[in-house]
Structure 1
């Protein structure tokens, strides 16, 4: 009996170990897949590549990747010398209003390196030229102050290092069976009637908005949030017909953000509803709550998320304008310069200190 008991101990241990391993596997399979954890594994937690918090459509919730559907992450690149409120408005608008069908879970801001910035500013003697780390930090501080408790939704990284990071992320996503697609967020200068910049970083889709600057393919007429017309965007060269994205069953939060529930359907211009339409117009096509349009060129897609008049920021706001303010304010102290930059630049206090330190 004693020998039999001893012989049973290993078998019981093996069974217990097996049950424990199954429990771990089940817990792992059901645990939320946090985008932040993937990025930290690839990028690391060093100060040069730290993550910032940022609000999107799911309040007080981390950026969670879902199995069984495509998760989209925005890539927003630029010199950001310095970053300003227009850059932030573009990012916020795309994250909040891209539509639930796209399932945008987060964004990566990609900041150009110092060598590229030097080339871009060639010939502009005395122009403000912030270092990469400074431009990253200006973004990070502004994003952290915006949403301290809303979870990590945005990461600010070096554009030069991104291709290597993306390759490693793709491998990790594949190992865990989660589908993630990167989508480029571009300004109106990259999406024009004459040409669209496709294919950067392998992105098949581009999103743009008119919240920070006008686009040359679309104009609207509105009073406040009330649209007086629903114009068709002008055709983009070598792209197919624009189709309107109609969000069905979407709810709007208290702060005006789209909460991301519902589904999407597409309508052509023949089914677009106008506020001037007669009351006899068929109600089979639901009234869209926001102007979102999409068109394609081969396997490349463009999504345009229009803004209302009240949402738009000053179209003259630019990094060039800020550099002009800085050049004309050489005699101001840090506090005075910060006041000049407030409401225009991101993290105006930090930017003012950077500028004074450089002098």
Structure 2
């Protein structure tokens, strides 16, 4: 069945949403396969505002090394975001619905076989408790250093450090055709490292680290971006709420490109 159909049935059965909300489930064209596991990445964050670093993480999750059938984007609830920005430019506040509208506008650039995994950048990774990602729990985690590199998360030989509760890492070197033809394994520009949980019951915990060897984009901090946007456009929550998604994209264009 299709992932869109699966999620619609799941939401309806669990009574977590209304018929009106179900009609908004879009861009989920992945087809679930009954003969193997289907990986769905869950990319959660504040996205206040969305920027190029977010897009880099999102696009890296679509790499063939990962083989995910879809990515579900979950912007933080408003109450969580207000607490987060209370001491860092709280005037720049995009309500969850507005953040969903922006992300949707940018993008218009079998139950036991469905596996959900967090998708995060390395700045969100806790080596002592990797799966502790508020506000929902998933048994898997994919870290990508496309938008930001944290040197302390790698050993001298280049392998990612071992996370607490997980075993040693193995390098995944699948064959994806001409893109990697003629390259030796040690010269790959992108490497996927995998590891499994230690001493856990089913579902087994799994960790993935998608390592990009080329230089990553410049370090981007949402706090600094909010301050610059407030200063250059005289924005606050009231004015942000009046702007359309199209107008917001015009303002955010420099930090998305």
> How high is the TM-score relative to the length of structure 1?
0.56
Inter-partner Cα distance in structure 2 for 1:219 and 1:137: 40
Deviation at 1:339, TM superposition (A): 6.1
Output the CA distance in 1 between the equivalents of 2:127 and 2:4: 36
Maintained 8 Å contact 1:82/1:345: no
Note the C-alpha offset of 1:93.
0.4
Shift in CA distance, 91/133, structure 1 to aligned 2, threshold 3 Å: same
Alignment partners' CA distance in 1, 2:48 and 2:121: 16
Closer, same or farther in 2 for the Cα pair 1:336/1:191, shift >3 Å? Answer: closer
Residues 304 and 121 of structure 1, relative CA distance in 2, 3 Å threshold: same
Q: Is the 8 A contact 2:196 2:207 kept in 1?
A: yes
In the alignment, which residue of structure 2 is the partner of 1:218? Answer: 154
SS of alignment partner, residue 63 of structure 2: helix
Give the deviation of 1:342 after TM superposition. Answer: 2.0
Alignment of 1:254-293 (within 5 A): 274=186, 290-293=190-193
Matched, 1:141 2:105: yes
Structure 1 Cα separation of the partners of residues 7 and 196 of structure 2 = 30
Matched, 1:34 2:8: no
| Match of residue 256 from structure 2 | 345
Q: Which structure 1 residue ranges, 5 or more long, are not aligned?
A: 1-32, 55-61, 147-172, 221-229, 257-271, 276-287, 347-359
The structural deviation recorded for 1:240 is 2.2
* Alignment partner of 1:50 is 2:24: yes
Distance 1:339 1:109, change over 3 A: closer
In the alignment, the residues of structure 1 paired with residue 189 and residue 123 of structure 2 have an alpha-carbon distance, to the nearest angstrom, of 26
Mapped contact 2:189–2:212 kept (Cα < 8 A): no
**1:306 counterpart = 2:211:** yes
Residues 66-145 of structure 1: matches in 2 within 5 Å? 66-99=33-66, 103-124=67-88, 126-144=90-108
Aligned partners of 2:247 and 2:3: how far apart in 1? 40
The match for 1:322 among 225, 231, 235 is: 225
Q: Is the 8 A contact 2:189 2:214 kept in 1?
A: no
C-alpha separation in 1, matches of 2:210 and 2:176: 15
Is the aligned partner of 1:196 residue 2:101?
A: no
CA shift, 1:232, in A, is 1.9
Shift of residue 211, structure 1, vs aligned partner: 0.4
Contact 1:192 1:217 (C-alpha < 8 Å) held by counterparts:
no
State the partner residue of 2:196: 296
Aligned-pair CA distance for 1:116: 0.9
Q: For the Cα contact (< 8 Å) 2:55–2:256, is it kept in 1?
A: no
- SS of residue in 2 equivalent to 1:96: coil
Give the alignment's TM-score, normalised by structure 2: 0.75
Counterparts in 2 of 1:327 and 1:343: CA distance versus 1, 3 Å: closer
